[in-house]
Amino acid sequence: MRRKDVLDLDDFTADELREVLETTAAMKEVLARPIRRVPPLRGKTIVNCFYEASTRTRVSFELAAKNLSADVVNITASGSSVEKGETLVDTTRTLQALGADMVIMRHGASGAPYLVARELEASVINAGDGWHAHPTQALLDLFTVQSRLGSIEGRRVAIIGDILHSRVARSATWGFTTLGAQVVLCAPPTLLPIGFADAVNTGLRAKGIVTACPVTVTHDVDEALRDADVVMALRVQRERMDSGLLPSLREYSREWGITRERIAKARFGALVMHPGPMNEGVEISPEVAYGPQSVIEAQVTNGVAVRMAVMYLLAGGRAGPAV
């Protein structure tokens, strides 16, 4: 992979995505060994820089880095000089001076990792920035779908929930469409970002990807589910109700929640995904979340392998089973 940073999937080619997925398969094989540790990042320092609360993503990156024999340092916004008012640019310069080889960054402000990547010689992996992007989450979604369904091209992926505030939806949309899938985004009108489908469709044409209608938008959940091979539910937060975007979670769950009755409208055997954490009974019912079509736990497991693959490739490793 010839790039310094992984900030989003919008600038990935299909070949680059395939390289990551192939390498992830090799990392899965490493994870199946009795001793999961391999040496490619020995002596490298990886800084986990989390300005926003996160459990699964931070732990997933930490495990991935340790499995690759890197030294891992965790910085969280509380308990660091960030609390003393240190700016992001200051922190970045400090990381540079301390010799970090790779920085994993989670930040509440969209675009913050781009600022850091411009300042820093080290590689930056975006672990989620504001509403904008979460590329490793999207990569693990791609890997999960590829390994369960065998292919991504030509599949129909329904992403249902709070699209407006979702970095997962944005990155997943770029990832799936770049590999030739169609994505349908479904939400109440107040939770859909105006113009996003246009932006992606235009961006895909610029990349030379010519799928018919790669991204469409609907408010009708039944229409979104029709012929879907993959159904991804997104978390809907209680605060959306307080800010007037939704009348009530009850109404949301009745009109847009993924229930057993609704999932029957998708293609037989369609995969059910969720980036977590779930509001069971709101955007997804427990019998779907834990039912036979759910791959939600596999997503978490695959997350470690995908992050190992991304770090390995960024550090100069080559695709394939050579680890």
Partner 1 sequence: MSNPNNAIRLAGAHGRFLGSLVIRGGRVIDPAQGIDAITDIAIRDGFVEAVGVGADAPPGAQVIDARGLIVTPGFVDLHTHLREPGFEYRETIATGTAAAAAGGFTTVCAMPNTEPAIDTTAVVDFIHDTARRQGSVRVYVIGAITRGRKGKALADLVELANAGVVAYSDDGDCVTDSALMRNALAYSRTTGRPVVQHAEDRALTTGAQMHEGSVSARLGLPGWPRAAEEVIVARDCELAALTGAHLHVAHVSSAGTLDFIRRARSRGVHVTAEVTPHHLTLTDALVGGHWWSATASLPAYDTRTKVNPPLRETPDSLAMAAGLRDGVIDCIATDHAPHGITDKHCEYQAAASGISNLETALGSVLAVVHAGGLTLVEAIAALTIRPARVFGLAAGSLLPGMAGDVTILDPDREWCVDPAQFRSKGRNTPLAGHLLRGQVIQTIVGGEVICDRSA
Contact residues for partner 1 (CB under 8 A)?
10-11, 87-89, 107, 109-112, 114-115, 118, 129-133, 167, 170, 193-196, 198-200, 202-203
Query: Toward partner 1, which CB reaches closer, 68 or 163?
Result: 163
Residue in the block written with tokens 């411009």: 118
Nearer to partner 1, 192 or 296 (CB): 192
Helix (H, G, I), strand (E, B) or coil at 160: strand
Least distance from C-beta 270 to partner 1, angstroms?
A: 27
Taking the complex as a whole, the smallest distance from the CB of residue 82 to partner 1 amounts, in Å, to 12
Distance from first CA to last CA of the chain, Å, rounded?
A: 16
Beta carbon nearer to partner 1, 13 or 87: 87
Closer by beta carbon to partner 1, 126 or else 279: 126
Shortest spacing between CB 244 and partner 1, in angstroms = 10
Inter-residue contact 248 to 282 (CB < 8 Å): no
CB-based contacts of 210: which residues, under 8 Å, 6+ apart? none
Q: Which is nearer to partner 1, 22 or 119 (CB)?
A: 119
Considering the complex, state which of residue 86 and residue 255 has its C-beta at the smaller distance from partner 1: 86
Give the other-Cβ count within 10 Å of 199's Cβ: 14
Starting at the earlier edge strand, list the strands of the sheet with 45-50: 71-76, 45-50, 102-107, 123-129
**Maximum alpha-carbon separation in the chain:** 56
CB 40 within 8 A of CB 315: yes
CB of 273 to partner 1, least distance (A): 20
DSSP state string for 42-75: TT-EEEEEESS--SHHHHHHHHHHHHTT-EEEEE
SS3 157: strand
Kindly state the smallest distance separating residue 193's Cβ from partner 1, in Å. Answer: 4
Tell the residue number behind the tokens 């992403």, with chain if given.
Answer: 159
Q: Kindly state the helix (H) or strand (E) to which residue 185 belongs, with its residue range.
A: strand 182-186
In the bound complex, what is the minimum distance in angstroms from residue 75's beta carbon to partner 1?
16
Please identify, using beta-carbon distances, which residue of 200 and 288 lies nearer to partner 1.
200
Question: Closest approach of Cβ 178 to partner 1, in Å?
Answer: 14
Compute how many other C-beta atoms are within 10 angstroms of the C-beta atom of residue 216. 15
